[in-house]
Structure 1
Amino acid sequence: MDLVETGERVFRKCQACHKTDGGKAAGPHLDGVFGREIGAVEGFKYSGTMAEMGGVWDAEALQAFLAKPRDYVKGTKMAFAGLRKQEELDAVTEYLKSISQ
């Protein structure tokens, strides 16, 4: 199984709150997230901290956020505790990158 396929499997942990087809859910859609401005999905109400932090979602930012969401963005609404294994972070990052092109 390649990294993107593994990432798609890891992403199942995220599907309760995030869609990858532009659909609405509890969290913002993640199609096109790689390279997108942080806090930029129109119509989604982000926490004040995330809305104001600036920057773009690249591999470094995504991995830092997905490892420890509440440490990376103080006051985030995301309840997910984070991915602990580097292999999962690498895989889900590659998956998100693949659906952002």
Structure 2
Amino acid sequence: MRLALLVPVVLALSPAAAQAQDAANGEKVFAQCRACHQIGPTAKNAVGPHLNGLIGRKAGTVEGYNYSPANKNSGLTWDEATFSEYIKDPKAKVPGTKMVYAGLKDEKRIADLIAYLKQFDAAGQKSAELVNPQQLAAR
């Protein structure tokens, strides 16, 4: 009987646990981005714009950041597919961008980075549904 009750619970938590693991790995990938970008409640524009609320945002629209005309006029909206293509080779996706980065080629690391970035809303707050369940238990 206990096993019958446990299986649905484990299955229900598996996607969240997998996603949390991806986000945790993505935070490690983000370490290389941190030289130019900030994310979270205290994030500010630096060499690059802050990345709060990136997924779903129109490119070139973070207030107070001086974007290249190429980025401002790209017409891109950052969704997972667009960001994935961009981060592989920023200058190929947006010729004339100021972003000086050779690119991230590994699909798994890109997916993990996206999972990490998706956690943060426009104010830099982590979405409760995307926070690691262990973090919630610690609150």
Structure 1 and Structure 2 fold alike (TM over 0.5) = yes
1:54-75 Cα offsets, whole Å, 9 max, x none, are: 2311001110110110100101
Alignment of 1:9 onto 2:47: no
Does 2:90 align with 1:92?
A: no
Moved more, 21-30 or 82-91: 21-30
Q: 1:38 aligns with which of 56, 59, 70?
A: 59
1:57 aligns with 2:71: no
**Percent identity between the two aligned chains:** 37
Amino acid at match of 2:92: D
Unaligned 5+ runs, structure 1: none
Note if contact 2:56-2:78 (Cα within 8 Å) is conserved in structure 1.
Answer: yes
Residue of structure 2 in register with 1:74 after alignment: 95
Question: Does structure 1 residue 18 correspond to structure 2 residue 37?
Answer: yes
Number of residue pairs matched by the alignment: 101
* TM-score, L = length of structure 2: 0.69
Amino acid in the other structure paired with 2:99? M
- TM-score scaled by length of structure 1: 0.93
More helix by share: 2
Root mean square deviation, CA, Å: 1.3
Alpha-carbon distance between aligned partners in 2 of 1:24 and 1:69, rounded to the nearest angstrom: 19
Deviation, structure 1 residue 84: 1.2
Q: Which has the larger radius of gyration?
A: 2
